[in-house]
């Protein structure tokens, strides 16, 4: 089917079924363009919580659709492709977390939102890339913290807060490959560019730590995907180097046609995010596939750390 016909059919089905389409900032352009809301993990969860639609078609990865189901138990949550997983979320399961907790009695567990519902249910606090430091700072100072699953974000939070933090050895294969971005090289290639780095998976720990070292003296900033989107809109700079998944450049260019954007690496492509296509989105609405439903008892447990996060932020 041609793109225009697919778009028209999607809009018709959406209205007929009282559905809302949520898309992450890394989705392919056609999916972002037809979505009702495009955002980061936190923004998408908040939208899932406040929408009055009866059905949510979640164009993102599985843990994000699960989070929507946890927050909106009364809604039908669909993901257009069940295989859209997350390499970072799969680095830890509930059994491994229970074992880690038993080795560290009394420690407080802070889980990044990139985790399964089962792992969230074993956690004390949830956090996102935009609020991880704030969440850790809100935990009593005498408490040891187990931070999971991303080791780069954890190292960054540890360096900023100075807290006693045990770090789970997890990473996102996409961001890890960006490697040790040479800020000196980047400044050399794009001397007028602001450098924006995603903290979640990190381009690397050293990259983030360098950003602290250079803070104020160079144009380096750390943001969640939505933080980046907001920053490029408001900044007086006209050129940006973006260290995260390249899907985000679509919205940046669309919102800021006069500004220039360079990816830190053209190869930063999340194949899980790219599994969602406009055709699959259409099939999802048409056939109401594939439902992501977190069972009620598990959802209630997994909601607690999310609720604590929301009450702090
Ligand atoms: P954000 O919450 O910043 O959108 O990040 C989610 C994610 O999975 C990026 O890899
Ligand atoms: Fe997961 Fe990495 Fe893809 Fe984000 S970019 S969804 S952390 S695999």
Which has more confidence, 129 or 10?
10
Kindly report the pTM of this predicted structure.
0.93
- Ligand 2 centre and the CA of 244: distance in Å? 10
Q: How many CA atoms lie within 13 A of 190 on its CB side?
A: 21
3-51 pLDDT tens trace: 899 999 999 999 999 999 999 999 999 999 999 999 998 889 889 999 9
Count of domains for the chain: 3
Q: Across residues 215-239, what is the average pLDDT?
A: 83
CATH number at residue 216: 3.40.50.10800
**Are 51 and 30 contacting, i.e. CB atoms less than 8 angstroms apart?**
no
Ligand 2 near 87 CB (within 6 A): yes
Tell me: do 122 and 141 sit in the same domain.
yes
Tell me: do 150 and 208 sit in the same domain.
no
Domain that holds residue 27: 3-84+273-295
200 confidence band (pLDDT: 50, 70, 90):
low
Nearest ligand to the C-alpha atom of residue 270: 2
The residue nearest atom 9 of ligand 1, judged by CA position, is 200
Closest CA to 114 of 32, 231, 229, 224: 224
**Are 194 and 219 contacting, i.e. CB atoms less than 8 angstroms apart?**
yes
For residue 28, give every residue at least 6 positions away whose Cβ sits within 8 Å of its Cβ, in sequence order, or none: 247, 274, 276, 277, 278
pLDDT exceeds cutoff 60 at 92: yes
- Ligand 2 centre and the CA of 180: distance in Å? 18
Q: What CA–CA distance (Å, rounded) separates 164 from 61?
A: 31
The mean predicted confidence, pLDDT, of the chain is: 91
202 confidence band (pLDDT: 50, 70, 90):
low
Q: Which of 23-27, 153-157, 295-299 has the lowest mean pLDDT?
A: 153-157
Ligand 2 near 84 CB (within 6 A): no
207 confidence band (pLDDT: 50, 70, 90):
low
Provide the sign of the torsion angle of the four alpha carbons 121, 204, 268, 214, taken in this order.
Answer: positive
pLDDT at 217: 43
Tell me: do 253 and 286 sit in the same domain.
no
Q: Across residues 144-172, what is the average pLDDT?
A: 93
Q: Is there a domain that residue 290 lies in?
A: yes
For residue 190, give every residue at least 6 positions away whose Cβ sits within 8 Å of its Cβ, in sequence order, or none: 239, 241, 262
For tokens 């006209």, what's the residue? 238
Q: Is there a domain that residue 94 lies in?
A: yes
The residue nearest atom 1 of ligand 2, judged by CA position, is 86
């Amino acid at each position: 089917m041609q793109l225009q016909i697919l778009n028209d059919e999607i809009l018709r089905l959406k209205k007929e079924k009282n559905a809302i389409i949520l898309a992450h900032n890394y989705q392919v352009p056609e999916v972002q363009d037809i979505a009702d809301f495009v955002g980061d993990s936190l923004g998408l969860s908040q939208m899932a919580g406040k929408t009055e639609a009866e059905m949510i078609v979640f164009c993102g990865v599985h843990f994000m659709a699960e989070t929507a189901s946890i927050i909106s138990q009364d809604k039908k949550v669909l993901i257009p492709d069940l295989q859209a997983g997350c390499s970072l979320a799969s680095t830890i399961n509930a059994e491994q977390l229970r074992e880690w907790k038993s080795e560290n009695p009394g420690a407080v567990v802070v889980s990044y939102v990139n985790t399964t519902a089962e792992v969230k249910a074993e956690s004390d606090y949830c956090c996102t890339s935009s609020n991880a430091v704030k969440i850790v700072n809100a935990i009593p100072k005498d408490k040891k913290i187990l931070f999971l699953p991303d080791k780069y974000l954890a190292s960054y939070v540890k360096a900023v807060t100075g807290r006693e933090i045990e770090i789970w050895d997890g990473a996102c294969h996409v961001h890890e490959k960006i490697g040790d971005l040479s800020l000196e090289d980047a400044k050399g290639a794009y001397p007028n560019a602001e450098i924006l780095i995603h903290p979640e998976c990190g381009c690397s720990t050293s990259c983030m730590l360098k950003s602290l070292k250079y803070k104020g003296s160079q144009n380096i900033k750390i943001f969640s995907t939505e933080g980046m989107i907001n920053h490029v809109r408001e900044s007086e700079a006209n050129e940006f180097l973006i260290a995260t998944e390249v899907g985000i450049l679509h919205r940046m260019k669309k919102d800021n046609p006069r500004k220039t954007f360079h990816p830190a690496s053209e190869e930063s492509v999340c194949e899980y995010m790219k599994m969602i296509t406009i055709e699959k989105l259409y099939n999802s609405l048409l056939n109401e596939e594939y439902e992501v439903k977190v069972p009620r008892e598990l959802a209630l447990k997994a909601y607690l750390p999310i609720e604590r996060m929301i009450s702090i932020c």
